[in-house]
Amino acid sequence: MLIVMEKNATPDQIKAVEAAVTARGYEARPIPGGERMSIGVLRNKGAVDASLFLGLGGVKDVIPVTRPYKLVSRETRSEDTVVRVGDVAIGNGHMTIIAGPCAIESEAQALTIARHVKDAGAHMFRGGAFKPRTSPYSFQGLGLEGLEILAKVRHETGLPVVTEVMDMATFDQVESYADMIQIGTRNMQNFSLLRRAGRSTRPVLLKRGMAATIDEWLMAAEYIMEGGNTQVILCERGVRTFVHHSRNTLDLSAVPYVRRESHLPIIIDPSHAAGRRDQVIPLSRSSIAVGAHGLMVEVHHQPDQALSDGAQSLYPQQFVQLCRQSQAIFNLLDEGPTAHP
């Protein structure tokens, strides 16, 4: 349930409503909006009697939240959330491109790619330091050394960096280096990791599990928001199907569905969806056309020598083309701030 306050509600009135909620054994969660404050009622088992709160001073309305995800739901917050990572805005009216190699392999590799993607128009840099690999014999990432290289990339290029956190043991370390923390497809329902991310001050990029329904994905985001971290970005990266013409199947209809259901930004990773370079640009174009707030793309200056995901990594010149075309499509959509379906 959501208690919507009048625009001119006083801090004392807001406090009184919170006290009334907690007195009933529920949790009161203030949700600031553009014009007015709302108070989410959490931890209720079953329906809450609206009349308990309707008569309180400064209360405009009491709205039931029908979805299983509360804080993530557009019922709780009608305006699109814009997540800020340094100077970069993600969501509502912005198109944000994140690019870089699958894995950080060396300082020279990371800096070379970072300079390319920055010149082409990328807003953020990506690169894994701790890599979740299918085979224990594959390159597992540089770990702490990779994080230090990411810090160097940020320093040299000014690009904020996003990198994956794989487990609780390395969370603090990753958090202290990354501007945004990525939770990968394999960890989407790692609930202790989600709870830890909920206590983080860093924005979180939450990838969709490779076999997760959208409800499960949004409930995973709810874990993070429930912990107090409101800065969550959803990332669709393809789901496992029966096909062999691509590594995964990019679920484009997830974008309009999620944008209707949730106020959180949603971006697309066409690289892990496709698994092959020739599909990455067409899937990027369609991602922007369908309403994604941005892209996360793998780029490598020598993909044939990449230590992971070389086959899906774009050459720098292809990334230039991707940025140009994506921007042109975004401009055509003419989406001003506040527009949402």
Q: Which residues would be at the binding site for Mn ion (CB under 5 A)?
A: 102, 309
Q: Which is nearer to ligand PEP, 154 or 272 (CB)?
A: 272
207 binds, among ligand PEP, Mn ion, none (CB under 5 to 8 A by kind): ligand PEP
Name the token pair of 165: 């956190």
In whole angstroms, the minimum distance from the beta carbon of 120 to Mn ion comes to: 19
Nearer to Mn ion, 126 or 196 (CB): 126
Where do the H-state alpha helices sit in the chain?
A: 11-23, 51-54, 107-120, 144-157, 171-177, 191-198, 214-226, 254-261, 270-274, 280-289, 316-333
Q: 47 or 243: whose CB is closer to ligand PEP?
A: 243
- Report, in Å, the least distance between residue 254 CB and ligand PEP: 14
**Would you say 2 or 85 has its CB closer to ligand PEP?**
85
Instruction: Give least dist CB 237 to ligand PEP, A.
Output: 4
Question: Do residues 189 and 212 touch, judged by C-beta distance below 8 A?
Answer: yes
What tokens appear for 132 in the block? 């979740």
Minimum CB separation of residue 272 from ligand PEP in Å reads 4
Contacts of 15 (CB under 8 A, 6+ apart): none
Q: What is the rounded CA–CA span in Å between residue 140 and residue 92? A: 36
Q: Is 300 in the site for ligand PEP (CB under 6 A)?
A: no
**Intra-chain end-to-end CA distance of the chain, in Å:** 23
Residue that is written with structure tokens 């800096």 in the block: 111
How far apart are the C-alpha atoms of 260 and 258, rounded to whole Å? Answer: 5
| Nearest CB to Mn ion, comparing residues 102 and 104 | 102
Interacting residues with ligand PEP between 25 and 84 (CB under 6 A): none
Q: Rule CB under 6 A: say whether 248 interacts with ligand PEP.
A: no
| Those residues with Cβ within 8 angstroms of residue 138's Cβ, 6 or more apart along the chain or in another chain | 131, 308
Q: Is 94 in the site for ligand PEP (CB under 6 A)?
A: no
How far apart (Å, rounded) are the C-alpha atoms in residues 128 and 111? Answer: 14
| Interactions with ligand PEP, residue window 153-192 (CB under 6 A) | 164, 184-185
State which residue, 83 or 102, has the beta carbon closest to ligand PEP: 102
Q: How far is the CB of 219 from ligand PEP (least distance, A)?
A: 18
| Position among 272, 277, 293, 300 found at the interface with ligand PEP (CB under 6 A) | 272
Output the smallest distance, CB 308 to Mn ion, in A: 6
The DSSP call for residue 49 is -
Of 76 and 248, nearer to ligand PEP (C-beta) is: 248
Nearest to 295 by CA among 111, 44, 87, 94: 94
Which of residues 71 and 322 has its CB atom nearest to Mn ion in the complex? 322
Residues that bind ligand PEP (rule: CB under 6 A) add up to a total of 10
Residues 201-240, interacting with ligand PEP (CB under 6 A):
207, 237
Nearer to Mn ion, 100 or 198 (CB): 100
Q: How many CB atoms lie within 10 A of CB 264?
A: 28
102 belongs to the binding site for ligand PEP (CB under 6 A)? yes
Range 113-142, binding ligand PEP (CB under 6 A): 128, 132
Cβ proximity of 59 and 3 under 8 Å: yes
Q: State the DSSP H helix or E strand holding residue 81, giving kind and residue range, or none if neither.
A: none
Helices (H) and strands (E) in the chain, counts: 11, 14
Rounded Cα–Cα distance for residues 27 and 298 (Å): 42
User: Cβ 207 to ligand PEP, closest distance in Å?
Assistant: 5
In the complex, least distance from residue 256 CB atom to ligand PEP, rounded to whole angstroms: 21
By CB under 6 A, name the binding residues for ligand PEP: 102, 128, 132, 164, 184-185, 207, 237, 269, 272
